[in-house]
Chain A
Amino acid sequence: MILPFDIIILLFVVICAVAALTVKDLLSAVVILGAYSFFMCLMWTQMGAVDVAFTEASVSASVGTILLITAVFKTTRNSKD
């Protein structure tokens, strides 16, 4: 584990989580959630869990983002909070 790398990735993860919940546009929120998943994937790689990072990148960051974008396009893009 490399300490500066760890702290930077943790900071990015927290910023992405806050941004995904505060952005008004739902499509932007979903894309920021995809970025959050990829930062989480980097973090697991530097912790040594390569299989989990692989599964996260392929399943959660791609398939989950595609499902959420489909949901946003089938419903509405704007939200009140």
Chain B
Amino acid sequence: MLDFIMAKYNYWIYIILMMIGFYGMIGKNNLVKKIIGMNIFQTAIILFFISIACKKGGATLPIIEYSHGGEHPVVHAADYLNPLPHVLMLTAIVVMVATLGVAIAIVIRLYRDYKTLEEDEILRKIS
């Protein structure tokens, strides 16, 4: 039982973070709070992907040692972390900031038109 908890507790905390972000997205009434919830949601998913790349047992960062000077050392795959999720999540972080920028532009535009950030007041003014 203790082994099971030790092997999985990271995933459980990531899921709790994702639930907090999801609640912020669909439950909060303020638009900036919704953006903050979206940020937490995306960060939790990126954290989950990064945790897939981890390897126990002496694996180091994905930078090949002793590779300068023209010689090609023999490399074992178990000595280095899995680099593929890192690359994919590098792309995802940049896309996250792009979505954040567009969301903030929409929020500023909505505030100019309706003079409020609360969702229910905006809905009342539209109808």
Contact = CB atoms under 8 A, between A and B. Distances in A.
Interface of A is mostly: helix
Interface in B73-122: 81, 86, 89-90, 93-94, 96-97, 100-101, 104, 107-108, 111, 116-118
B53 interface: yes
Interface in A29-67: 29-30, 33, 36-37, 40, 43-44, 47-52, 55-56, 59-60, 63-64, 67
Contacts of B24: 21
A17 B13 CA distance: 12
A20 B36 contact: yes
Contact of B90 (A10, A52, A79): A52
Contacts of A10: 10, 13
A60 B20 CA distance: 19
A56 B93 contact: yes
A15 B17 CA distance: 10
A71 B104 contact: yes
B13 A64 contact: no
Contacts of A75: 32, 107-108, 111, 117
Contact of A33 (B36, B61, B94): B36
Contacts of A60: 39, 43, 93, 96-97
Contact of B30 (A14, A26, A49, A63): A26
Given A49-B86, A80-B118, A21 B93 contact: no
18 contacts: A18-B20, A30-B32, A33-B39, A36-B43, A47-B50, A49-B81, A49-B89, A52-B46, A64-B96, A64-B97, A67-B104, A68-B35, A68-B100, A68-B104, A71-B107, A79-B29, A80-B118, A81-B30
Interface of A: 1, 6, 10, 13-14, 17-18, 20-21, 26, 29-30, 33, 36-37, 40, 43-44, 47-52, 55-56, 59-60, 63-64, 67-68, 70-72, 74-76, 79-81
